[in-house]
Amino acid sequence: MDILTSLIRDIPDFPKKGIIFKDITPVLKSPEAFTATVDGLADLVADMDFDLICGIESRGFLLGTAMSYTLNRGFIPVRKPGKLPYRTIQESYSLEYGTNTVEMHEDAVEPGQRILIVDDLLATGGTAHAAGALIRRLGGVVAGYVFVVELAFLDGRDRIPDAPVRSLVQY
């Protein structure tokens, strides 16, 4: 995964002071790196049993839909409030300052379906935890969580102990 670490770039103080943003756009732009990323994510979940892939807005869509295509699984989106057209359920979670809310269509998951959650980056785990909570409220089972980047020093995986957590690159 050297190609990933060489291309993921640090943007200091984005989107606010004190955050070092891990920018994956150079990875998306490189055919070799993007292919290695999607193939690497698919390898990480090869032993997991799941029916659908859930991607978290917005970079989770780029990776999740590519994985859906490769692995022949359907895709369901978790989005910011007000973006999904049909009836939704919401889950809110706390940030360092304030709260965030994410939504899913109320018919996105059938009871008993197993779902793989995908996002570009695991930081504190709040977003992934909220996505998992939406799936469980609809009667689904979280089969696993997979990320390109894990900021391991933030211990985000402690917040999502209900299923295996895998990542391609750790900082």
Catalytic residues: 59, 96
Q: Where are the beta strands (DSSP E) in the chain?
A: 9-12, 20-23, 52-56, 74-78, 88-94, 99-105, 114-122, 141-150, 165-170
d(CA 161, CA 154): 14
Site string for ligand AMP, 54-93 (x = CB under 6 A): --x--x----------------------------------
Contact call for residue 19 and ligand AMP (CB under 6 A): yes
Question: 10 or 107: whose CB is closer to ligand AMP?
Answer: 10
Taking alpha carbons only, the member of 155, 148, 169, 159 closest to residue 63 is 148
Cα angle, residue 36 at apex, residues 32 and 37 outer, rounded to 5°: 120
Q: Which stretch binds ligand AMP (CB under 6 A): 26-34, 42-50, 123-131, 133-141?
A: 123-131
Site string for ligand AMP, 124-163 (x = CB under 6 A): xxxxx---------------------------x-------
The answer to whether residues 92 and 72 touch, using CB atoms and an 8 Å cutoff, is no
Q: Give the number of residues in contact with ligand AMP, rule: CB under 6 A.
A: 17
In the structure encoding, which two tokens stand for residue 160, read together? 């999502």
Contact set with ligand AMP (CB under 6 A) = 19-22, 56, 59, 119-128, 156
